[in-house]
């Protein structure tokens, strides 16, 4: 059984929060055997990736971290990208993060 411990990073935040927008909280779970070294989230309407939310850190195998998106947008639909220490990457598009509540990277 895989044990999941809370990572040292308890919450990540991007951008300044607009006064009327709601923050979006969800979990990133690394269920792979490789460290997650980069994590990007962008609104589905965007043509480019936002900055790396792990900012020089990493999410080890079998760990999870809470993420706070406070970008001032009222959307729930985002694209995500994860890059791993072995150079592999995963991209997923058009995810309703409000509905999902969490996203697991799996092998």
Domain assignment of residue 41, given as a range: 5-106
pLDDT at 55: 84
Number of separate domains in the chain: 1
pLDDT at 23: 83
- Asked if the model's pLDDT at residue 62 lies above 60, the reply is yes
Mean pLDDT throughout 66-93? 92
**Does residue 76 contact residue 44 with C-beta atoms inside 8 Å?**
no
Mean pLDDT throughout 36-60? 92
CA–CA separation, 46 and 84 (whole Å): 23
- Asked if the model's pLDDT at residue 74 lies above 70, the reply is yes
- Token digits of residue 11: 């919450």
User: 91: domain CATH number?
Assistant: 2.60.40
């Amino acid at each position: 059984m895989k044990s999941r411990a809370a990572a040292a990073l308890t919450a990540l935040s991007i951008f300044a929060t607009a006064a009327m927008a709601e923050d979006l909280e969800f979990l990133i779970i690394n269920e792979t055997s490789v460290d997650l070294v980069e994590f990007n989230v962008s609104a589905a309407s965007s043509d480019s990736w936002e900055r790396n939310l792990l900012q020089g850190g990493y999410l080890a195998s079998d760990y999870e971290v809470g993420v706070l998106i406070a970008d001032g947008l009222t959307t729930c639909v985002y694209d995500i990208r994860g890059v791993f220490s072995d150079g592999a990457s995963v991209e997923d598009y058009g995810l309703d993060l409000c509905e999902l509540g969490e996203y697991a990277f799996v092998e």
